[in-house]
Structure 1
């Protein structure tokens, strides 16, 4: 009997904070991509692999496409996002219901010469109180690009996600699965641990600081039913270090507790987590520092 089914790569793209990582996590049934209400939470191209029988969808979660190019980090994020739409079998472009921003137009321009099939996912329909306003919006966005399908969804509530995924599968080539059926991402546990710490920091801190910090795992080792993890939180200025640590160390302690709980769920064992905060001036606008901290182009 043949193992051939439908298998291929699907890029999830859109402007920052439109729900791409939430959609991916929902499809996988567990968190591999961190989320927050702040834009640019996702910084890395990340594969989420969903296998159902002989059907395998390899989702490519991407940083939000945005117009700001003022530092090395912003330029890296856009390169990571735009490179992810090359060579995929289908694209799911997320927009927010009843919203159309300059950054949505920027995504539209980025996709202008793409021949890959594009499904438009109109997200956050659960937040639309006047459902009558949805139809004119859908009719309007339908004129902007030759979409294969337009599917109104709610990634956070799970509305219409089965319908969206059915349409995705129809666009995938006939192929044997490319990854083992029990593999859900191409990223290591070490990478995911760093991202969990960064998620807690992003959610806890004010508007600007999350973009000025990153997390680097220094030590990761497992023995019996315990994993030891130590991590460095890099910021750009001494004042930022003080904010991250918090009064009497309470900020850093609560980040550690929240991250450790998520790590224990992810790893299925007890975790001993140590965190330190260090200053590396100007790392956000230093290409070499970015590479050293794990921001390397794929």
Structure 2
């Protein structure tokens, strides 16, 4: 006979969808309770399907963070949209996110309508960033979102910053999952490799303060992560910041290297808790011409 607690357990996959910069990555980090996905005010920060694992008394939720759905202007943009579509076809529930501080627009309506293509997934609507909105704005957004579809299993307003109604969301999502045992061990929060998490932390540091199209042109590759010989309390990290043009390289480095030093300092602060040691970080900036549009360059960079 199966164990009674296991028979009552639920586990499955949920993904958040929406326009870029509606708070999907911040929401996943808040649910999981640890920074798994990088965040930035820059649109299209997320470039991979990142899984965060949330263990609850009733089971396990695997939250898949995806890039924001957008009108692609490059081959990279098209591949990110394709990635979202492939994830949507494999999850048990889809949570559609709209920020409380912005009116529902054509992009939101298009994404909500596109969920018809995934009949096997339950749909939930989430109004994010309620901490930054008035009561009237929240009520208006809830009405707008509710009217987008007739099959919402729930419509939930919440704040990832204050934690308000996060438990309501996790309980609602877990109730939509199929019965079954946990799919991951209960002592991990993500299946991301250390190298990928290191690369993303460095990219997050590089995104701070950049402008115009530069955020989309930045990629990071990690050449090596290793304990310092003779000093295991120090980890050496060697990484490349990749941009598309020489002018962008100059911006990243800054006057006499000051900006690159700032990037390294911010990245080290975030890397040391992850790696559990002090970190020596060596950053090199290189140019890969128009890499967002070049299939070979995209493959080399992991896209």
- Alpha-carbon distance, 1:54 to partner: 5.7
Tell me, yes or no, if structure 1 residue 183 matches structure 2 residue 175: no
Tell me, which stretches of 5 or more residues in structure 2 are unaligned? none
* TM-score after normalising by structure 1: 0.94
Any conservation in 2 of the 1:6–1:56 contact (CA below 8 Å)? yes
* Distance change in 2, residues 1:222/1:110 (3 Å): farther
User: 1:85 matched to which residue of 2?
Assistant: 88
- Alpha-carbon distance, 1:53 to partner: 4.4
User: 1:134 matched to which residue of 2?
Assistant: 138
Any conservation in 1 of the 2:202–2:267 contact (CA below 8 Å)? yes
User: 2:69 matched to which residue of 1?
Assistant: 65
Q: What SS does the aligned partner of 2:205 have?
A: helix
Which of 200, 204, 217 in structure 1 is aligned with 2:205? 200
User: 2:226 matched to which residue of 1?
Assistant: 221
Which of 268, 288, 292 in structure 2 is aligned with 1:284? 292
- Alpha-carbon distance, 1:133 to partner: 4.2
- Alpha-carbon distance, 1:149 to partner: 0.5
User: 2:172 matched to which residue of 1?
Assistant: 167
Note the 1:242-281 alignment, pairs <5 A. Answer: 242-281=250-289
- Alpha-carbon distance, 1:92 to partner: 1.2
- Alpha-carbon distance, 1:121 to partner: 0.5
* TM-score after normalising by structure 2: 0.93
Please give the alpha-carbon distance, in whole angstroms, between the structure 2 residues aligned to 1:226 and 1:80.
37
Q: What SS does the aligned partner of 2:152 have?
A: coil
Tell me, which stretches of 5 or more residues in structure 1 are unaligned? none
Please give the alpha-carbon distance, in whole angstroms, between the structure 1 residues aligned to 2:290 and 2:252.
17
Q: What SS does the aligned partner of 1:218 have?
A: strand
Tell me, yes or no, if structure 1 residue 76 matches structure 2 residue 79: yes
Which of 4, 12, 16 in structure 2 is aligned with 1:12? 16
- Alpha-carbon distance, 1:112 to partner: 2.4
Of stretches 222-231 and 202-211 in structure 1, the one that deviates more from structure 2 is: 222-231
User: 1:293 matched to which residue of 2?
Assistant: 301
Runs of 4+ aligned structure 1 residues displaced above 3 Å come to: 1-4
Tell me, yes or no, if structure 1 residue 235 matches structure 2 residue 234: no
Which of 124, 128, 152 in structure 2 is aligned with 1:119? 124
Task: Give the aligned length.
Answer: 293
- Alpha-carbon distance, 1:205 to partner: 1.1
Please give the alpha-carbon distance, in whole angstroms, between the structure 1 residues aligned to 2:43 and 2:103.
16
Of stretches 140-149 and 36-45 in structure 1, the one that deviates more from structure 2 is: 140-149
Any conservation in 1 of the 2:214–2:248 contact (CA below 8 Å)? yes
* Distance change in 2, residues 1:118/1:244 (3 Å): same
Q: What SS does the aligned partner of 1:228 have?
A: strand
Any conservation in 1 of the 2:127–2:141 contact (CA below 8 Å)? no
Tell me, yes or no, if structure 1 residue 28 matches structure 2 residue 28: no
